[in-house]
Structure 1
Amino acid sequence: MDQSRRKSGVSSYYGNNTTEAWSPSADDDLHSPGYNGSSYGAAGRQGRQEPLRGGRDEEEGAPPQEEAWDVYADFNNAGPRYSTVPFGTGTGYRQIPTPDGKADESGIGQVEMVTVPTLGAEWKASEMRDMTKAGKREKQKEEVSKKWKGWHRGETGCCGGWLTRKVLVFILFAFAIVAGITLAFTIPRVPGLNFNTFEPLQPATGTFNSSVPTEFSRAPANFSFPAFASIQVDTSSNYLPLTITQMTAQVFDSDTGYQVATSILEHQTFAAKTFSNLNLPLNFSYVAENSSDITWTNWYDACKNKALITGGVRPGVNFRLDIFMKIAGLT
C-alpha cells in the first residue's frame, strides 16, 4: 500500500485519472505531496497541464545565455574571464600586450625597499650573559679546562685526537734518545794541551817577530821580546772538527808571581781525532824599579848571551802559563 501511495504522489502532475492512483474514497479530499494542478485553481482533473511559467517550452524559447565560465579555459587564456567587471561589458578574453623587453625608467627610484627585522625569541638572562665578552671568556675557559681534564685522564687527545698522554710519553722518550745520541756526536769536547817539555819556548818568526822589540835594559830595568809557546792540541775525543774562536794566555813568574807575558790568538780550527801543533805567540814585557828586582834578574839571567856565562850554560827560569779558550758550540 505504501508503494502504491508513493507512486500516486509522484504521478500527481499527470493527473489523478490513472487506474493506479490510490484513492480510498471519491469523497475523500486528499492531496498528494507532489505537484498538484488543483492547487492553482484549475477546474476539474483534465490530465496534464502546462507549467505556470508561460505558454512556451523553457529550453526551446529561452533567450541565448552567456557561455559558462571554465577554469581551465580561463587559465589557458582560451575562454571568458571569471569576472568581467574591470574590463567593461565585454565577455571575451582580452589579450595582455606582449612586453617589448625595455625597462620602464619612469618609475626608477620611486620605490623604496625597507627591510624590517623579524622579531626574535626572548633571551634568557643566562643567554644574554653568554653573549658578552666576559661570558665568552668564561665559556672558553670552561672548554679549555674540560679538554685538559679529558686529555689528562687519557679520554681525549690533541691534534686530531691521536696525541694522547701515552703517545706523548713515547714521543718524548724517543726524542730524548735521539737528542742524546745526536749531542754525543756533535757537542765539541775541550781538547787536551801538551807542552814541549824540552823547549817550551820557541824563537818568534815572521811578522810577529818584527812587531815586538827585543830589549834587556838595566837602567831603567826592563825587558821585552817575542816568543812562541810550543803546544800540541789533542782532539781525539771529538767527532767533528774543533773551532776555537779565541785563545788568550798569560805567563807568570813562579818565584814572584808577577805577570811577564800575554797572548791573544783568534779563530783556529783543528781536525777531529788528531794531534795538531800550535805555536802560541807570547809578548814578553816587564818593567822593574831597578836591576835588583828578582823577576827582572831571573829572566835576564835565563836569556843572557851564552858567551857571557862561565861554561856556556844559562840557568833556567820557572813560569806558569794560563790559557783561556772560547770553543764554538760550548760558549
Structure 2
Amino acid sequence: MSTSNHFHQEDHELRTTHYQPYQHLGRTQDQNAFGDDSDSEDNSHQHAVPDHNDPPEFDVYKDFNNSGVRYTTLLQGKTAEQKQDRDELQDHILLDSEKSRQHRPDDDDSLTHSPTSPSSSSPRPGLQTMQPGSPTRQKGTLSAMKNGGKSRWRIGSIIAFLVIACLGIVIFFLMPRQPFISLEIPPRLVKKDDNNLIFSASNPTNFSFDAQLDLFLDARPSYLPTLIRDFKVDISDLGATSSTVQVGKSLRSKSFTASNRNLTPLSLDVHFQYSAKLPSDTIWQAWRQACGNIAASTVNGTITRPSLQLVVLIQFNVIGMLGSKYDSTQLNNVGCPAELPPGAPSF
C-alpha cells in the first residue's frame, strides 16, 4: 500500500510539470483558439469528464497573479498556509512602502536620496548624497565666500586706486603755486611829489617820507590764477650797519588775483621812517646824505650823493595754501626816493 502511494505521488508530481490547456469544467466540448464556430478537422472528438481526484489544471490568470497552485507548487513548493503567510507579508511591505512614500519630502529629497525598495533600504550604489550641513558643503560654501570676498576686495582696491589717482591729478592742476618776485623786471623805488619829507636832527633824531615801490609778481607756475590777500612789504637797510634794520613798510589788505599767464605788476605805497638818539647815528647820516639835494650834490655833471643797499621782503597769503608765504630780493645801488630842498643843512 505504501509502495502504491509512493508511485501515485511521483505520478502526480510528474503530471504537474506538463502543460495542459485550461478547460472549463462546465463544458465537455473542445473549444479551439478561433472560437466555437471556427472550422476544426475533428469536431466529433470530446474529452472525458475530469476526475475530481486529478490535480488542478493550469490557470493563466492565477499564474500572472502568482497564485496558481501549479505555479507555486512547482517553483516554490509552498503549501496553502505558507502562501497565505507570504501574501500577508507582501501586503505588509507594500503598506509600509506606501506610508514612507507619503511622508517623503519634496523634490529636494527625492533628488538627493535613492528610492526605497522592499528588498533593500540602502542607497543606490554610485549615488552620493550631500546633506545641507555636511562638511563638504560647508567647505564649498566657505571657499565660495572667501573667493567672493577676494574678488570684492580686488574690485574695491582698483576703484579706490582710480579715485585716488583722479583726485591727485585734479589737485595737481587745481592747487595754486606760490608766486615770487620777478627778477626779469627788478623792483624799483619811485619818488612821489607829495611825500611829506622830514629830516630832523633835533631830539628825537629821525626821518620820514612816502615813496612808491613798483614790482612784478610772477604766478605763472600755477595752472590757474592765484588769489592773494594780506600783501605786506618790509624794506630794510643793508649797507649802513652789519645787520639789517627796517626803514620802510607797506600793506595792501585788499585781495587781488595774480595772473598765471603774464607777470602781475604791483604799485605799492611805502612809508619810510627811522628814529635815533643822536644825529651821529650811522643809519640817519647815511640816509641824510643819500637823500640830499641833487643840484647841490652834482659836481661837473656827476651826481655825487651816495646810493643805498636795501632788502625787499614780501609776505602774503595764497587762497588754497596753508600758512603765510615769503619772498625777498636785494636792491643794490638804489638812489634815495626823496630829495631835500636846496640849502638844507648837512649835519
The normalised TM-score by structure 1 is 0.47
The normalised TM-score by structure 2 is 0.45
